[in-house]
Amino acid sequence: MKYLVKDRHGRDLACVLFGSAAWKTRPRDLFIGWSHETRSRNLSRLTNNTRFLILPWVHVPHLASHVLGRISRRIRADWQNKYAHPVDLLETFVERERFLGTCYKAANWIHIGSTTGRSRQDRYHTLVAPVKDIYVYPLIPRFKEALLHENG
């Protein structure tokens, strides 16, 4: 799912991309309460905020958290219209040595832990990747129940 954010004059301000959720990440799976089988069945009900860019020449206070808030209010319907199934939880990974995650905190995303500094490409435990903080944003009040439900 792609969003291009424009101002009232049609000028580009930001772009936000959502894609497939991470196959597995221990803090998220523990937060939800997922078993391997439940995660396999219901992972499609999550989406990962893979990119978020405020264009470099744009200087608008609080724009990032405002954009996140606006998108979080519409993405569930947009996702249903495009993919014909609901999405119940957003996730993102913030590289902690480069960013503080301030806009996610301001938009009420929940910090649930950090990655271990490994990559999904690291089958043999030899690659070193930056540690990232994990944030999630529930789109429905009883999201854990929905994500644990047998029929997804």
DSSP string covering 138-151: ESSTTHHHHHH-TT
Of residues 78 and 151, which shows the higher confidence score? Answer: 78
- pLDDT digit string (tens) for 124-143? 656 678 999 999 999 999 99
DSSP string covering 68-132: HHHHHHHHHHHHHHHHSS---EEEEEEETTT---HHHHHTT-EEEEE--S--TT-TTS------E
Among 43, 44, 45, 49, smallest CA distance to 24 is for 43
- The length of the chain in residues reads 152
pTM of the model: 0.91
pLDDT for residue 144: 96
Instruction: Give the mean model confidence (pLDDT) for residues 5-17.
Output: 97
Q: What is the DSSP letter of 23?
A: S
Residue 28 in contact with residue 136, Cβ under 8 Å? Answer: yes
Q: Does residue 43 register a pLDDT over 60?
A: yes
Instruction: Give the mean model confidence (pLDDT) for residues 79-89.
Output: 96
The four Cα atoms 47, 66, 55, 9 give a dihedral, to 10 degrees, of 120
- Dihedral sign computed on CA atoms, order 47, 133, 111, 24: positive
- pLDDT digit string (tens) for 104-119? 999 999 999 999 877 6
pLDDT for residue 146: 95
> What 3-state DSSP class applies to 11?
coil
The tokens describing 26, both together, are 């221990």
φ and ψ at 54, to 5 degrees?
Answer: -90, 125
What structural domains does the chain harbor? 2-148 (3.40.630.30)
The tokens describing 58, both together, are 């744009």
